[in-house]
Amino acid sequence: MSETRILKDEKEEYHLFRSRAVVAGLAVLFLLSVIGVRLFYLQISNHENLTQLAQENYQKRIPIPPVRGQIYDRNGIVLADNKIEYVLEVVRNIAKDMDENIALLQQLIPISQKEVSKFKQQLRVNSRFQPVILRSALTEEEIAIFSVNRYRFPGFAVNIRTERVYPLGSVASHVIGYVGRIDTRDLERLGKNEYKGSTHVGKTGIERFYEERLHGKAGFKKVEMDAHSEPQRTLAEESPISGEDLFLSLDLELQIKAEQLLEGKRGAIVAMDPRNGEILAMASVPMFDSNLFVNGISYKNYNALRDDMDRPLFNRALQGAYPPGSTIKPMAALAGLDAGVVTNKRSVKGRGFFQIPGTRRHYRCWKKTGHGHISLNRAIYQSCDVYFYDLAYRMGIDRYSKAMRKFGFGSKTGIDLPHERSGLMPTPEWKLKRHKTNWYPGDTVNVGIGQGYWTASPLQLAHATATVAMRGRRMMPHVLKAVRVSRNLPEKPVRPIALPSVSVKDRQWDAVVQGMVNVVHGPMGTARGSGAGAKYRFAGKTGTAQVFGIAQNKTYNAAKLAKRLHDHSLFVAFAPLEKPKIALSVIVENGGGGSAVAAPIARQLLDSYLLPKPKVEPETIQVDGDDKLKKEKQASDNSTLSDGNA
Amino acid sequence: MYESLGIFRHIWEVLSKLDLVLLISLIILLTLGGITLHSASGENAAMMQRHFIHLAIATVAMVISAQLPSHILTQWSVWAYSGGIILLVLVLFQGSMGGGAQRWLEFGAFRFQPSEIMKLAVPMMVASYFSNKTLPPKFLHILVAAVLVLIPMLLIARQPDLGTALLVGSAGFFVIYFAGIAWKWLIAMFISLAAAAPLLFYFGMEAYQRQRVLTLLDPGSDKLGSGYQIIQSTIAIGSGGVYGKGWLNGDQSRLDFLPERHTDFIFAIFGEEFGLLGNLILLSIYIFIIWRGLYLATCGIDTFSRLLGGSLSLTFFVYLLVNTGMVSGILPVVGVPLPLISYGGTSMVTLMAAFGLLMGLKKRKIGYGNA
């Protein structure tokens, strides 16, 4: 029965099947055309986009950091160098079983537990693609041992690292500055591409100011990576261009001398070549060791530096704002002469104090008995306050301030170092804005002797002194003397930049400079002790900047005041008189009178720079210098003459 | 002389059972597959050697299955089916772990997946069930057939092996379809399946399977996790463009960005190296093979042959659709290989055996066939 049914249905079933097969075939075509559309979308519409994604997948641009330029002094002595060392680095993304691998590695090359814990700490901080140093300063033998076993340690690699070293430690540390690890703030201001392979960047000083020159241009290597980040082959390569070597105008010997002379004190010295604005020495004491910052200063060290009352991180020479005191009297005299307020001939009666006409307040001279009738020349070499009270009062603050600005006071010198401060050359407008009060004639009188609101940096003082030395010709101070793009090429000198000069008549220059000469060489000069026995002639001016306000009718008693309230001791000078080669300013914080402390220091520096040097080893020079310093100190202590203004 | 002629005669008899057109298309496809696998394996000679061994075994399986007449197959169906069910239950209880799921049974050094047998046993069973029923079938018969399909399907899905469950299920379903299930029931079935999809998604699927579906909707959500394969395979295909990067020049595969690139994701390598043009040619070859399979099924000697042949052809299509759909990122990732191209012995043998069955089922009108 079943057989007949099958036979009966055979044809009908065949047709049923055939129609179903046709429908199925159409469904197959339809569904596969959906796949076809999808392939069309991927391979034509989205082709470019996906090709780019594919390239991003496997093409990696590995930056090659350039070698940082070196820094030398003017005689080619290295101030900032690169130490090349081999380090063992680990990329967390690739490395597996970190603890196990480190333990295995420790059997091959010595890695201390301290290094391991430091490494683990760094691992946490860095991204998993960033190589982190496990061991530094690998020996050749260790490199060989590791290389043989490299295949066992994926993600571990020996790489060359250059590390910044400052061979002289703290010498000129404020000028040279230091490099440190790049942080997020640095990344905001730096070109991200240029710094992709770099780890360090200049943070302060020359290292920061000439960062672009020192850093050089990063190269890159475009490599093909597989999915496990193992490089397969190099597709393109561009070598990095090393940073430029910088030759500073600093004279290392003078710099060290300056720093030694300030040792144990707080203060600053700026010495420059007045002819071209080259900074010969810029000392700020206390100092710090630049090397501490290179690999990240420890909290302990940093806090110690930051919280030190003597502020070693602060560059006094550039950022210090000191009342310039009597050191500005030569410039004030020139301003007065130029304005016709004083003449070379006319004398002023010095009674020991100055009174603004119609008032009773006494502006005292440092010499209570008064200087009697005093000429311009004597007013300078004896530093008569009353003469300059009168000068400023009669000139008026507007003219006075304008004339002093021509010497650079109240504005930045434009030196090639970061964070310069402009100091303050006050005007009535400034006072109204800042203190919301009017300018009083008494303010003018105080400014007349470099006190009151007036502040200046040691650099500005040296610069203004250089201007006097060059009789008005002003050059922009600078630290960079020459640049060497490549070791094979000669150094290219940096062209000095001239600034607007101060034009005063020649005989007026003569008169003022004569006053300054008499300060050191005259029989009654305030710093005649420091000028004695010089083998060359020079010009100088003492200054004492008041830190502590003294009430009317009181006398200044150094012994009774706390050391930090003592006056600042200042001295400016240039030499040789006939053809000035050096101009300098010395400031010793709370040092007391200018003639007692600052002037002898200046004399020693001038001697050291101008006199022919004995051919001896640097160490002996240092010892020599110390002895000299002590002798000079005794000499200056013995000299009773002190200059002070109140 | 006579004896040797007799041997030739026997060989001719055996070979004449094969369908020349289908055979040639299969050879073309397998050649393309070998070329692609050479590249996808990273020019791994050992893997290629194993691939050729698989091919040889599969060819023997094809030639043997082509000799089996339909009445014998009908008789074997029940045994193959029930044996398969027993093995599947065995796997669930004591199968060794493989790839995170219990799929394998071990016989000494020999490991095999019982679910693979079911790809052939299920359609054979259902076809033989329908072979002595009036067609189009009655509702009760369809219900019985559905149960016959669902039991192994669920057992395989429990392993879990969604890909094979899907293939086994569709093989059984296609038999019911060709048997002539009424369109209204078919539509009703699809609608209820669609309605049950959310329930299936939340209660029927493993967490990783749900993740795969979600990944398909937004591959970017987990770039290094489950979305990685889809992203890398679409990048590979898309970067191939119209003409492709050329043989052995696929960067994605050469640099190891594509996981499973010699097995389930080999289509991405093909697309990357041969481009849209290559893809269209490949799809055309597949379409031709499916067409030829459906044609041979129509020529089937009896109901059983037709139903089985139709089902096997369409199951082959399901392989292709699911694999290319998943590799090109429009279907969720399920473990279905690109038929006859992906590396893997088991599926190769099963597929070639299926084609053998297909060839052997056709009616022989003129003497020793029209091969």
pLDDT, position A625: 40
Q: Which of B280, B294, B307, B362 to mutate to test the interface with A (most CBs of A within 10 A)?
A: B294
Interchain contact, B287 vs A28, CB within 8 Å:
yes
Give mean pLDDT, residues A309-327: 91
CB A605 within 8 A of CB A632: no
B304 domain-assigned: no
At residue A9 the predicted structure's pLDDT band, cuts being 50, 70 and 90, is low
pLDDT, position A239: 87
pLDDT, position A553: 53
B38 domain-assigned: no
Catalytic residue among A249, A284, A290, A326: A326
Interchain contact, B241 vs A58, CB within 8 Å:
no
Spatial distance between the Cα atoms of A191 and B196, rounded to a whole number of angstroms: 58
Q: Let me know how long chain A is.
A: 646
pLDDT, position B285: 97
pLDDT, position A624: 42
**Contacting residues of A for B297, CB less than 8 Å apart:** 17, 21
Domains of chain A, earliest start first: 58-73+172-248 (3.90.1310.10), 83-163 (3.30.1390), 252-287+315-638 (3.40.710.10)
Give mean pLDDT, residues A331-348: 88
Nearest to A434 by CA among A442, A443, A320: A443
pLDDT greater than 60 at residue A3: no
Q: Which of A402-411, A632-641, B123-132 has the lowest mean pLDDT?
A: A632-641
B277 domain-assigned: no
Spatial distance between the Cα atoms of B337 and B266, rounded to a whole number of angstroms: 8
Give mean pLDDT, residues B164-188: 91
Interchain contact, A24 vs B324, CB within 8 Å:
no
In a 13 Å sphere around the CA of A484, the CA atoms on its Cβ side amount to 18
**By the CB < 8 Å criterion, does B316 face chain A?**
no
pLDDT, position A85: 84
Give B121-175 pLDDT, tens digit per residue.
999 999 999 988 887 888 899 999 999 999 999 888 887 788 889 899 999 999 9
pLDDT, position A480: 95
**By the CB < 8 Å criterion, does B309 face chain A?**
no
For A238, list phi and psi in degrees, rounded to 5: -135, 125
pLDDT greater than 70 at residue A129: no
Give mean pLDDT, residues A366-385: 85
* Torsion sign, CA atoms A198, A203, A207, A209: positive
Interchain contact, B298 vs A18, CB within 8 Å:
yes
Higher pLDDT, A249 or A546: A249
Q: Which of A4, A5, A28, A48 to mutate to test the interface with B (most CBs of B within 10 A)?
A: A28
Q: Is omega for the bond preceding B160 within 30 degrees of 0, making it cis?
A: yes
For B218, list phi and psi in degrees, rounded to 5: -150, 85
- Domain of B115, in residue numbers: 84-187
Interchain contact, B238 vs A42, CB within 8 Å:
yes
Give A438-480 pLDDT, tens digit per residue.
999 889 999 999 998 999 999 999 999 999 999 999 999 999 9
Give mean pLDDT, residues A306-334: 91
Give mean pLDDT, residues B77-85: 93
Give A42-71 pLDDT, tens digit per residue.
999 999 988 888 888 777 777 788 889 999
Spatial distance between the Cα atoms of B273 and A573, rounded to a whole number of angstroms: 81
Give mean pLDDT, residues A118-128: 75
> Chain A residues contacting B, CB < 8 Å?
2, 5-6, 9, 12-14, 16-18, 20-21, 24-25, 28-29, 31-32, 34-36, 38-40, 42-44, 46-47, 49-51, 53-54, 57-58, 224-228, 232
Measure A29 CA to nearest chain B CA, in Å: 8
**By the CB < 8 Å criterion, does B325 face chain A?**
yes
Q: Is omega for the bond preceding B198 within 30 degrees of 0, making it cis?
A: no
For A539, the token pair is: 């010009």
B22 domain-assigned: no
SS3 content of chain B, % helix, strand, coil (to 5): 70, 5, 25
Cβ neighbours of A106 (radius 10 Å)? 15
At residue A635 the predicted structure's pLDDT band, cuts being 50, 70 and 90, is very low
pLDDT greater than 70 at residue A545: yes
Q: Measure Cα distances from B355 to A476, A548, B128, B299, B364 in Å.
A: 93, 108, 18, 14, 17
pLDDT, position A374: 86
Interchain contact, B241 vs A226, CB within 8 Å:
no
Spatial distance between the Cα atoms of A50 and A335, rounded to a whole number of angstroms: 75
pLDDT, position A566: 82
> Nearest residue of A to residue B180 by CA position?
A16
Q: Is omega for the bond preceding B136 within 30 degrees of 0, making it cis?
A: yes
Cβ under 8 Å to A: B residues 170-199? 174, 177-178, 180
B364 domain-assigned: no
At residue A150 the predicted structure's pLDDT band, cuts being 50, 70 and 90, is confident
Measure B301 CA to nearest chain A CA, in Å: 10
In one letter, which amino acid is A85? E
Q: Measure Cα distances from A252 to A171, A212, A271 in Å.
A: 9, 24, 12
Interchain contact, A24 vs B234, CB within 8 Å:
no
Q: Which of B130, B239, B269, B321 to mutate to test the interface with A (most CBs of A within 10 A)?
A: B239
CB A319 within 8 A of CB A349: no
pLDDT, position A136: 82
pLDDT greater than 90 at residue A221: no
Interchain contact, B275 vs A43, CB within 8 Å:
yes
SS3 state at A81: strand
pLDDT greater than 70 at residue A552: no
pLDDT greater than 50 at residue A349: yes
Query: How many residue contacts between A and B have a Cβ separation below 8 Å?
Result: 141
B248 φ/ψ sector (left φ>0, alpha ψ -120 to 50, else beta)? left
For B48, list phi and psi in degrees, rounded to 5: -65, -40
pLDDT, position A62: 77
Higher pLDDT, A490 or A632: A490
Give A473-505 pLDDT, tens digit per residue.
999 999 999 999 988 888 899 999 999 999 888
Spatial distance between the Cα atoms of B153 and B160, rounded to a whole number of angstroms: 11
Number of domains in chain B: 1
pLDDT greater than 60 at residue A634: no
Interchain contact, B132 vs A6, CB within 8 Å:
yes
**By the CB < 8 Å criterion, does B303 face chain A?**
yes
pLDDT, position A417: 94
Strands of the sheet with A568-575, listed across from one edge: A279-285, A267-272, A582-588, A568-575, A539-545
Give mean pLDDT, residues A106-130: 80
Secondary structure in 3-state letters for A438-467: CCCHHHHHHHCCCCCCCEECHHHHHHHHHH
Pairing, β A71-72 against β A245-248: parallel
Measure A235 CA to nearest chain B CA, in Å: 13
B127 domain-assigned: yes
B258 domain-assigned: no
At residue B91 the predicted structure's pLDDT band, cuts being 50, 70 and 90, is confident
Measure B3 CA to nearest chain A CA, in Å: 41
Spatial distance between the Cα atoms of B217 and B224, rounded to a whole number of angstroms: 16
Helix pair angle (B70-94, B303-327), 10° resolution? 40
pLDDT greater than 50 at residue A172: yes
Measure A48 CA to nearest chain B CA, in Å: 7
pLDDT, position B367: 38
**By the CB < 8 Å criterion, does B267 face chain A?**
no
Nearest to A316 by CA among A407, A419, A426, A447: A419
Higher pLDDT, B193 or B171: B171
Helix pair angle (B345-361, B45-66), 10° resolution? 30
pLDDT, position A557: 64
Cβ under 8 Å to A: B residues 194-233? 232
pLDDT, position A592: 78
Q: Which of A545-549, A615-619, B10-14 has the lowest mean pLDDT?
A: A615-619
Residues 6+ apart with CB under 8 A from B361: B70, B296, B297, B300, B301, B305, B306, B308, B309
**By the CB < 8 Å criterion, does B101 face chain A?**
no
Q: Is omega for the bond preceding A576 within 30 degrees of 0, making it cis?
A: yes
Interchain contact, B180 vs A16, CB within 8 Å:
yes
Cβ neighbours of A54 (radius 10 Å)? 23
pLDDT greater than 50 at residue B293: yes
Cβ neighbours of A108 (radius 10 Å)? 14
At residue A613 the predicted structure's pLDDT band, cuts being 50, 70 and 90, is confident
Q: Which of A92-101, A155-164, B138-147 has the lowest mean pLDDT?
A: A92-101
Measure A16 CA to nearest chain B CA, in Å: 7
SS3 state at A498: strand
Higher pLDDT, B291 or A111: B291
CA dihedral A199, A201, A203, A208 (to 10 degrees): 170
Instruction: Using a pLDDT cut of 90, give the percent of chain B over it.
Output: 47
Residues 6+ apart with CB under 8 A from B253: B39, B40, B42, B236, B261, B268, B269, B272, B273
- Whether residue A501 lies in the annotated active site: no
For B102, list phi and psi in degrees, rounded to 5: -90, 100
SS3 state at A481: strand
Nearest to A402 by CA among A380, A426, A420, A421: A426
CB A62 within 8 A of CB A237: no
At residue A644 the predicted structure's pLDDT band, cuts being 50, 70 and 90, is very low
Helix pair angle (B345-361, B303-327), 10° resolution? 150
Spatial distance between the Cα atoms of A282 and A267, rounded to a whole number of angstroms: 11
Pairing, β A353-354 against β B110-112: unpaired
> Nearest residue of A to residue B310 by CA position?
A21
Interchain contact, A54 vs B252, CB within 8 Å:
yes
pLDDT, position B214: 74
pLDDT greater than 80 at residue B328: yes
B291 domain-assigned: no
> Nearest residue of B to residue A47 by CA position?
B238
For residue B139, the surrounding DSSP H or E stretch is helix B139-157
Query: In sequence order, which ranges of A128-267 are alpha helices (DSSP H)?
Result: 140-149, 173-176, 184-189, 205-209, 211-215, 252-261
Cβ neighbours of B155 (radius 10 Å)? 22
Question: What's the N-to-C CA distance of chain B in angstroms?
Answer: 26
Average predicted confidence (pLDDT) for chain A: 85
Spatial distance between the Cα atoms of B118 and B14, rounded to a whole number of angstroms: 26
Integer Rg of chain A from CA: 37
Interchain contact, A20 vs B180, CB within 8 Å:
yes
